[in-house]
Amino acid sequence: MSRRSRAREVALQILFEDDVNPRDSVEALTSFVSARLNSPEMEKFCMELIFGVRRNQTEIDASLNGIAQNWTVNRMAATDRNVLRLGTYELYHTKTPYKVVINEAVELAKRYGNANSAQFVNGILDKVRIATETKRETPKGD
């Protein structure tokens, strides 16, 4: 597993925990991340993902609700929901190539989700990718 993949995995663990039992402090979060990554560069990347998803969660969830046919974010399995939040954040707010984002998300879904998670995540993130490309191509006004 690459170092960035491991950082995404730790970010997913924190985002999942946010859903069920949020951490009390930034210090506890930082300690958790540091103990698992042991690399200032990867810790920074992981924290950027975590705080990016947290900061943009309303936008991300609204986008996922609009894209996921017959599903709402609240009805999704907690693991799938947080893999999708992480992937959507990366597609919308980073320069990571979409193929890397989707592949990384699918691998997390395979590892932590159920038998259908990888296919579900792949399908939804591909739709997010298409929406992202359309959004970028649409003129912002005159």
Q: How far apart are CA 118 and CA 130, in angstroms?
A: 18
> Which pLDDT score is estimated for 25?
82
**At which residue do the structure tokens 């930034």 appear?**
26
The CATH number of residue 21's host domain is 1.10.940.10
Range in 5-9, 50-54, 66-70 with the lowest mean pLDDT: 66-70
> Which pLDDT score is estimated for 26?
85
Q: Is residue 82 part of a domain?
A: yes
- Band of pLDDT at residue 2, cut at 50, 70 and 90: confident
Q: Is residue 142 part of a domain?
A: no
Percent of the chain with pLDDT strictly greater than 90: 80
Q: Is residue 77 part of a domain?
A: yes
Question: Mean pLDDT across the chain, nearest whole number?
Answer: 91
For the segment 58-77, the average pLDDT, to the nearest whole number, is 94
Q: What is the dihedral of CA 91, 7, 62, 22, to 10 degrees?
A: -170
Q: Is residue 30 part of a domain?
A: yes
Residue span of the structural domain in which 54 resides: 3-137
- DSSP code at position 75: G
- Band of pLDDT at residue 138, cut at 50, 70 and 90: very low
- Band of pLDDT at residue 139, cut at 50, 70 and 90: very low
pLDDT reading at 24 higher than 90: no
Tens digits of residue pLDDT in 92-121: 999 999 999 999 999 999 999 999 999 999
pTM of the model: 0.91
Report the residue count for the chain.
142
Q: Choose among 53, 52, 41: nearest CA to 3.
A: 41
Q: Is residue 31 part of a domain?
A: yes
Q: Is residue 29 part of a domain?
A: yes
> Which pLDDT score is estimated for 135?
62
Count up the domains in the chain and report the number.
1
Q: Is residue 80 part of a domain?
A: yes
